[in-house]
Amino acid sequence: EPEVTQTPSHQVTQMGQEVILRCVPISNHLYFYWYRQILGQKVEFLVSFYNNEISEKSEIFDDQFSVERPDGSNFTLKIRSTKLEDSAMYFCASRATDTQYFGPGTRLTVL
């Protein structure tokens, strides 16, 4: 069964550094998402992406964040200058119709 994959599974970085989180959505899906879950809190929507552009973003998704689909398979989330409060689990999701399928997540730790 096709799955969403994410790399790395765990990323440790220093505050102020740039990180890129990678996702490979399910191959025939056209809608892509990033969510995050700060430890002990609920899963929150960050951004949605369709047809090579952002279709919606949350208040969390400020100018430090960007998304890209650099080729036909990868979908990336870049955080330009990480802050301590960016430490969280980041989930990628994709969908073809109404059901979103989530990847296993990348745990980002900012020191």
Partner 1 sequence: AQSVTQPDIHITVSEGASLELRCNYSYGATPYLFWYVQSPGQGLQLLLKYFSGDTLVQGIKGFEAEFKRSQSSFNLRKPSVHWSDAAEYFCAVLKHSSASKIIFGSGTRLSIRP
Cα dist from 105 to 12, 63, 92, whole Å = 14, 22, 7
CB of 81 to partner 1, least distance (A): 25
Angle (nearest 5°) at CA 90 between 86 and 92? 145
Nearest CB to partner 1, comparing residues 14 and 41 = 41
Least distance from C-beta 6 to partner 1, angstroms?
Answer: 8
Q: Contact positions toward partner 1, by CB under 8 A?
A: 6, 31, 33, 35, 41-45, 48, 50, 55-56, 91, 93, 95, 98-105
Nearer to partner 1, 20 or 89 (CB): 89
Kindly tell me which of 14 and 99 has the beta carbon lying closer to partner 1: 99
Closest distance of CB 58 from partner 1, Å: 8
**Edge-to-edge order in the sheet of strand 19-24:** 5-7, 19-24, 75-79, 65-68
Distance of closest approach, residue 68 Cβ to partner 1, in angstroms: 17
